[in-house]
Chain A
Amino acid sequence: MTAFLTLIIVLFIAVAIWQMVKIFDLAQVGTSNDQVATDKDNKINGYLMMGFLVFIYAITIASFWYLGDLPLMSNSASAHGPGLDNLMIISMVLIFIVQTFTQFLLHYFAYKYKGEKGRKALFYADNNTLEAIWTFIPVVVLAGLIIYGLFTWTSIMNIDESEDPLVVELYAQQFNWKARYAGEDNTLGMANVRLIDIDRANILGLDESDPYAQDDIITTELHLPVGRPVLFKMRSQDVLHSAYMPHFRAQMNCVPGMITQFGFTPTVTTADMRQNPDIEEKVANINAIRLENKDQIEAKGQELTYEFDYLLLCNKICGKSHYNMQMKIIVETQEEYDAWIKEQTTFKNSLPTK
């Protein structure tokens, strides 16, 4: 019965719409042009264009005002960081100038030349000089940026093994990180996921017969001595992950089936970074925010007070808990590092005796 009633109602509505269409059609004898912009529309929208220009500038200023301390463009913690930050700042300033200027022209012209009946536009189809100017200027500017960028890129990616870098493997799996130190020989032992033996706690698949593997050390926290170049070798056991260390301006994907690498020199210890006035301010700000959301944070079982730490994040979608795949990084003095590493168990000693 309900279905029948619904059907009837739908039918009536359809008839009503059809009749209304007819009435609308009859009401419009001939056609009209009143949905085309009039001088009044041009004027209003011309003014709104200027208003919109103000809005663009306002949202730029507001973003800098409220969020300006967020971008990682200073206080880098690696040797190559300042160079990269410089390039970023130069590019940003450039973008900012071009943005301000071109948005002004675009919206100002839209306001200035808003249409009026009877006025005729200027028939101006081409000008080779102008075209040449705005081809040439970007060419020069971009050439500069490309050259600067390529020098920076090459110096970051070229790893100088003669400097005797500390070799560390970053090992990714759904959804956590492990670090493997190469031990006293500073050479990582052979490894393959096919050799993983959970029963023997050989979780990274090290070759138990490889002499280089015996002194390897597997940890769940990444400790780095300050001032010494580190060469990271990345591995993944399941899907793509990306080892992202934003404070060090470092990132590299971890790809199953191959070993990728990235090197940098940490320059600021965790303790020193915590004393940095900018970081202190940031931490105080974050803690104020956390205090406001006290209930939620405690309900999740997190600690209320935040203390600054360097982090390694996963930055390539890797599955359900991608959003919680992290490892703490601690940069410390050589002595502190030596003391820490001495306490860790070597691979050989971690294996159950046969």
Chain B
Amino acid sequence: MSAHADTHAHDDHGHHHKETFVTKYIFSQDHKMIAKQYLITGTIMGVIGVLMSIMFRMQIAWPEQPNVLFEALLGKWAPEGVMDADIYLALVTIHGTIMVFFVLTAGLSGTFSNLLIPLQIGARDMASGFLNMVSYWLFFLSSVVMIISLFVEAGPAAAGWTIYPPLSALPMAQGGSGAGMTLWLVSMAIFIASSLLGSLNYIVTVINLRTKGMSMTRLPLTIWAFFVTAIIGVVSFPVLLSAALLLIMDRSFGTSFFLSDIFIQGEVLHYQGGSPVLFEHLFWFLGHPEVYIVLLPALGITSEIIATNSRKPIFGYRAMVMSILAIAFLSTIVWGHHMFISGMNPFLGSVFTFTTLLIAIPSAVKAFNYITTLWKGNLQMNPAMLFSIGLVSTFITGGLTGIILGDSALDINVHDTYFVVAHFHLVMGISALYGMFAGIYHWFPKMFGRMLNKNLGYLHFWVTAICAYGVFFPMHFIGMAGLPRRYYTNSNFPLFDDTANANVVITVFAIVGGIFQLVFLWNFFSSMFFGKKTVQNPWRSNTLEWTAPVKHIHGNWEGEIPHVHRWAYDYSKPGHDDDYVPQNIPLKDGEEELQH
């Protein structure tokens, strides 16, 4: 970035325009405040999503039994406390939608991209503060619409989070495909607009606003991850938007993009010539990259936290960047592995098997690099570090079963069973959630100027870690028994009676794990006000955000923006007294910068 722009930004900062409550806390254009807004909105959505999962897990474990919780929360959908079959599908659908998009896309990427991109690359703010504000408020609006959709007369969307037509297109096929689905589609369209504005902003900021000396090869891996994630988002989200718009046309204006030859409830519909398989292609062209939109930021956060807390450079920085790029590229050409048995040409299945299994290679490289980073480190077991190690563990466990699902032949018999549910929850659900928790524990001091209580953090991690495996490990087995997902009850299939006990165990783990998230919520909200005040650089980290003052100021740094002289990973470098050398410290005489 040129010196000219620097001084210009500084001048702006000089004559401080007066901030009102509204401009500071509500319609804020400051990236740090927007990050907090994303985080808190995402957290609230997360609570709703987790509560839903506990409810439908209870139904699976104790099918068709009266339940006080259902009676209290579901109202007319649980007559005499027994959950209705339609609302079961709605809970599954909205749980998926909320967790994937509202928590792990907006809550994770929105929070940390906003907070860290300007602070870690040395910029006063995002390229466009205004667009950033609009992006948050669109996200907020889409959240509100999604919540409203839960209360419509015929019930919320219930066609699964993948909303395959014709089920999602025809109100007579399912109650939830009426007004509930309309609101779902509207909410997602707004969400996508929000996501695109955010992504464009991140890309432009990373390319244009890096401080002096911050070359691309000196970028922290967090920024690499956020940057590449934003690119994937820009490439793939518009395709989902188009799918949603076409579906809206089919639903409301009588077109036949996805529908053909349908006879339902005694009448033939007029649709002709469309194909649901087309929708599946469009959906998964976003849907699969979406997995990496969720996961890459978590991996970026983990890279940063593992290096800092190991007091070691991240092992294989260049390989890490290359694998992020490789994953990003491959993620756009593997979507067909969700459709092996959709009726598409089997030859395409072969192609997608090939590309899908290739993606295991950069993933394996990343896992091994994390492990090697720990080797001979001096590990500081902060809660953020525990969650990062936990992420690597679930990423490996969940990723490995991808070898089975990505193999078209093996997919035939486990497709849409609980095996799939176990796989993706571990590899992208739990892993990304751990990444989000790790980020919160690590950057809470940066966000709120106070520390989270570490002992509550330890309690939170260990119980969550045990419950996560307790839920999803046995689930692989009942999936391999052939138990289909999204069944309201399995009691009509005596064949599956021997999975019932495992389902009870899984639900108990889920309930305990869910309850212990309250420990986190308490820690989070009470520390925001009563936590210990933080020092400027509590984790003794190298990246630029810790050179900024604890108290947030508009423009991030008083005076000049720090210049960068080295990469972000000079931990325990020989020739230095401290075990960390922040990026803004110039090289000593004769000190060599690591070449990468």
Binding site for B on A (CB under 8 A): 17, 20-21, 24-25, 28, 31-37, 41-42, 44-46, 48-49, 52, 55-56, 59-60, 63, 66-68, 70-73, 84, 87-88, 91-92, 94-95, 98-99, 102-103, 105-107, 109-110, 113-116, 119-127, 130-131, 134-135, 138-139, 142, 145-146, 149-150, 152-154, 156-158, 173-174, 192-194, 196, 198, 205, 234, 237-240, 242, 244, 246, 249-253, 255-258, 260, 282, 285-286, 289-290, 296-297, 300, 302, 306, 308, 311, 313-324, 326
B480 and A103 contact, CB distance less than 8 A: no
Task: Known contacts A114-B381, A142-B361, A193-B268; decide if A88 and B404 are in contact (CB<8 Å).
Answer: yes
B276 cross-chain contacts in A, Cβ below 8 A: 240, 255-257
Q: B400 contacts which chain A residues (CB < 8 A)?
A: 95, 98-99
Tell me the smallest distance from the CB of A286 to a CB of chain B, in Å: 5
B234 on the interface (CB 8 Å rule)?
no
Q: Which of B105-113, B214-222, B308-316, B432-440 contacts A (4 or more CB under 8 A)?
A: B308-316
A193: B residues at CB distance < 8 A: 261-263, 268
Kindly provide the distance from the CB of A109 to the nearest chain B CB, expressed in whole angstroms: 4
Q: Please name the 8 residue pairs, one residue from A and one from B, whose CB atoms are nearest each other, closest first.
A: A257-B260, A246-B482, A71-B480, A35-B451, A157-B346, A45-B381, A260-B343, A70-B481
Q: In the complex, what distance in Å separates the CA atom of A306 from the CA atom of B264?
A: 34
In the complex, identify which listed stretch (B73-81, B246-254, B410-418) lies at the interface while the others stay far away: B410-418
Cβ B261 vs Cβ A70 within 8 A? no
Asked whether A31 lies within 8 Å of B532 as measured between CB atoms, the reply is yes
Chain B residues with CB under 8 Å of A49's CB are 389
Residues of A within 8 A of B397 (CB): 56, 99, 103
Closest to A40 in B: B381
Interface pair A145/B529, CB less than 8 Å apart: no
- Min Cβ gap A170→B in Å is 13
Q: Which of B25-50 contact A (CB under 8 A)?
A: none
Known interface pairs A56-B393, A134-B368, A174-B264. Does A37 touch B480 (Cβ–Cβ under 8 Å)?
Answer: no
> Judging by beta carbons under 8 Å apart, are B361 and A249 in contact?
no
- Contact A72 to B494, CB < 8 A, known contacts A63-B474, A131-B365: no
On whether A60 and B473 interact (CB within 8 A), knowing A135-B365, A237-B264, A258-B343, the answer reads yes
Decide if B159 is an interface residue (CB 8 Å cutoff).
yes
Contacts of B522 in A (CB 8 A): none
Q: Which residues of B contact A286 (CB under 8 A)?
A: 494-495, 497-498
| Residue in contact with A313 in the complex, picked from B159, B274, B314, B484, CB distance below 8 Å | B484
Known A-B contacts: A152-B409, A238-B264, A311-B493. Give 9 more (CB < 8 A): A73-B480, A121-B572, A146-B353, A149-B407, A239-B165, A251-B412, A289-B497, A321-B85, A324-B492
Q: Which residues of A contact B311 (CB under 8 A)?
A: 115, 120-121
Question: Hey, which chain A residues are within 8 Å of B89, CB to CB?
Answer: 317, 319-320, 322
> CB of B68 within 8 A of chain A?
no
The closest CB in chain A to the CB of B550 belongs to A31
Does the CB pair B343–A255 fall under 8 Å? yes
State whether the Cβ of B502 lies closer than 8 Å to any Cβ in chain A: yes
Contacts A138-B360, A251-B412; is A323 near B490 (CB within 8 Å)? yes
Task: Tell yes or no: B569 within 8 A of A by CB.
Answer: yes
CB atoms of B312 and A123 under 8 A apart:
yes
Per a CB cutoff under 8 Å, which of A68, A98, A115, A146 touches B477?
A68
When chains A and B are docked, how far (Å) is the Cα of A132 from the Cα of B487? Answer: 45
* A-side contacts of B392, CB under 8 Å: 106
Interchain CB contact under 8 A, A196 and B263: yes
In the complex, what's the smallest C-beta–C-beta distance from A214 to chain B, in angstroms? 22
A52 to B404, CA, bound (A): 26
Known contacts A121-B571, A123-B573, A246-B413; is-contact A323 B492 (Cβ 8 Å): yes
Bound-state CA distance A109–B375 (Å) is: 6
Contact A149 B408 (CB under 8 A): yes
Cβ-based interface call for B500 (8 A): yes
Select from chain B the residue with minimum beta-carbon distance to A24. Answer: B530
Is the CB–CB distance between B502 and A66 below 8 Å?
Answer: yes
Give min CB distance, A270 to chain B, whole Å. Answer: 13
Residues on the B chain within 8 Å of A87, using CB:
407, 409-410
| B310 / chain A contacts, CB cutoff of 8 Å | 113, 121
Nearest A residue to B489 by beta-carbon distance? A323
Other-chain contact of A95, B393, B403, B413, B499 (Cβ < 8 Å): B403
User: What residues of B have a CB within 8 angstroms of the CB of A123 in the complex?
Assistant: 312-313, 571-574
Cα separation A152 to B482 with both chains bound (whole Å): 20
Tell whether B594 is near chain A: CB-to-CB under 8 Å.
Answer: yes
The answer to whether B579 has its CB under 8 Å from any CB of chain A is: yes
Residues of B within 8 A of A42 (CB): 379-381
Is B152 an interface residue when CB atoms closer than 8 A count as contact? no
List 28 A–B pairs whose Cβ atoms lie within 8 Å, in order of A's numbering.
A46-B381, A70-B477, A106-B392, A110-B379, A113-B379, A120-B378, A121-B312, A121-B377, A123-B571, A125-B315, A149-B357, A149-B408, A150-B350, A153-B409, A237-B261, A239-B264, A256-B261, A257-B259, A257-B276, A260-B343, A282-B498, A289-B497, A302-B492, A306-B494, A317-B159, A317-B486, A322-B486, A324-B492
Question: Is B358 on the interface with A (CB-CB < 8 A)?
Answer: yes
Interface centre among A99, A120, A313 (most CB of B within 10 A): A120
B275 touches A257 (CB 8 A): yes
- Do B371 and A102 have beta carbons less than 8 Å apart? yes
Q: Check if B530 sits within 8 Å of A41, measured CB to CB.
A: no
Q: How far is the CA of A72 from the CA of B418 in the complex (A)?
A: 13
CB distance from A138 to the nearest CB of B (A): 4
Chain B contacts for A131, CB-based, 8 A = 316, 319, 365, 369
A141 to B550, CA, bound (A): 49
Q: How far is the CA of A72 from the CA of B419 in the complex (A)?
A: 12
Q: Which of B173, B393, B494, B530 contacts A319 (CB 8 A)?
A: B173
Q: Which B residues lie within 8 Å of A154 (CB)?
A: 346, 350
Which residues from chain B contact A255 at a C-beta distance below 8 Å? 275-277, 342-343
In the complex, which of the residues B85, B361, B386 contacts A320, with contact meaning CB atoms closer than 8 Å? B85
Contact in complex: A153, B353 (CB < 8 Å):
yes
B493 touches A194 (CB 8 A): no
B374 within 8 A of A: yes
Question: With a CB–CB cut-off of 8 A, which chain B residues contact A103?
Answer: 393, 396-397
Of B381, B416, B476, B486, which is within 8 A of A115 by CB?
A: B381
Contacts of A251 in B (CB 8 A): 341, 412-413, 415
* Closest Cβ–Cβ distance, residue A193 to chain B (whole Å): 4
Pairwise interchain contact B495-A315, C-beta atoms closer than 8 A: no
User: Which of B409, B413, B488, B499 is within 8 Å of A323, CB to CB?
Assistant: B488
Chain A's nearest CB lies how many Å from the CB of B503?
Answer: 11
Distance between Cα atoms of A138 and B360 in the complex (Å)? 8
A55 and B466: CB pair below 8 A?
yes
Q: Are A194 and B497 in contact (CB under 8 A)?
A: no
Chain B proximity of A289: nearest CB distance (Å): 5
In the complex, what distance in Å separates the CA atom of A249 from the CA atom of B571?
A: 53
Asked if B259 and A256 sit within 8 Å, CB to CB, the answer is yes
Given A42-B381, A153-B349, A125:B594 Cβ within 8 A: yes
**In the bound complex, do residue B413 and residue A240 qualify as a contact, i.e. CB atoms below 8 Å apart?**
no
Nearest-CB residue, chain B, relative to A34: B532
Closest approach, in angstroms, between the C-beta of B378 and any C-beta of chain A? Answer: 4
